[in-house]
């Protein structure tokens, strides 16, 4: 399948990538110590590696390894990739990391490498973005983001899913299609100032 022609212009892409690289580099230099502390704490808390590393679908459909601070204890009996509020796998410390977004900090490395952006669609596990068709595949013209309009709209996604009888089906049939449309509109309306507003809204909570 080919990716839709709906995409950022070369100039927009260059501006977006330049900002990502410079800010990610500065960010890693500023918070590396916090990432290290969180990694050690998560290692002790989960009794496993403090980094959560998982395959995600990135720009152009290419798969990459996203890095986050681990917030859950391993559970071989659970196979779902959908996380709900009150998920018993989430540790108390992990809940704190998720609430404060400390678990997201290692993704600065993904941004620095060019696998992610600060603003864009959230990186999905295989089985979602890689199955998009037609114009919807324009979502793959962007690097996945740490935050974005869809992320902000569904900041309470875990609580929403916890209220559903079939969380995986609701995510697949309701939330995910809505995110795709939000992200397509984000591409159409993209501006550098808009990205700054999304980042500010994320930081201010």
What's the Cα-to-Cα distance from 17 to each of 113, 175, 189, rounded to whole Å?
10, 28, 17
Q: What pLDDT, on a 0 to 100 scale, did the predictor assign at position 28?
A: 98
- Residue 115 and residue 143 in contact, taking contact as beta carbons nearer than 8 Å: yes
- Residues 6 or more apart whose CB falls under 8 angstroms from that of 11 comprise none
Q: What is the DSSP string of 25-65?
A: HHHHHHHHHHHHHHHHHHHHHHTS-SEEEEEEE-GGG-EEE
Q: What pLDDT, on a 0 to 100 scale, did the predictor assign at position 2?
A: 44
Residue 128: phi and psi, rounded to 5, are -120, -85
Query: How many other C-beta atoms are found inside a 10 Å radius of the C-beta of residue 152?
Result: 13
How far apart, in whole angstroms, are the C-alpha atoms of residue 185 and residue 26?
30
pLDDT digits (tens, 9 = 90+) for 115-132: 999 999 999 989 888 888
Q: What pLDDT, on a 0 to 100 scale, did the predictor assign at position 141?
A: 94
Q: What pLDDT, on a 0 to 100 scale, did the predictor assign at position 108?
A: 98
How do the domains of the chain map onto residue ranges? Answer: 10-204
Q: What pLDDT, on a 0 to 100 scale, did the predictor assign at position 82?
A: 62
**Mean pLDDT, contiguous 10-residue spans, the chain (205 residues):** 69 97 98 98 95 95 96 72 69 93 96 98 89 91 96 91 90 94 96 96 88
List, in sequence order, the alpha helices (H) in 7-148. Answer: 10-46, 92-100, 107-112
The two structure tokens encoding residue 56: 């995600």
Q: What pLDDT, on a 0 to 100 scale, did the predictor assign at position 17?
A: 98
């Amino acid at each position: 399948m080919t990716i839709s022609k709906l995409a950022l212009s070369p100039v927009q892409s260059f501006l977006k990538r330049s900002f990502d690289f410079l800010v990610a580099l500065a960010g890693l230099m500023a918070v590396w110590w916090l990432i290290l502390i969180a990694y050690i704490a998560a290692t002790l808390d989960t009794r496993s590696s403090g980094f959560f590393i998982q395959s995600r679908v990135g720009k152009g459909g290419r798969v990459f390894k996203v890095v986050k601070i681990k917030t859950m204890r391993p559970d071989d009996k659970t196979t779902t990739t959908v996380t709900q509020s009150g998920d018993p796998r989430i540790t108390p410390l992990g809940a704190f990391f998720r609430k404060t977004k400390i678990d997201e900090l290692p993704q600065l490395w993904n941004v620095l490498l060019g696998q992610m952006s600060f603003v864009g669609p959230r990186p999905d596990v295989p089985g979602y973005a890689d199955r998009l068709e037609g114009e919807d595949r324009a979502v793959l013209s962007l690097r996945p983001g740490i935050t974005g309009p869809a992320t902000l709209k569904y900041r309470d996604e875990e609580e929403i899913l916890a209220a559903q009888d079939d969380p995986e089906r609701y995510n697949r049939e309701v939330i995910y299609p809505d995110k795709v449309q939000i992200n397509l509109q984000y591409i159409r309306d993209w501006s550098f100032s808009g990205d700054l507003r999304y980042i500010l809204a994320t930081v201010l909570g």
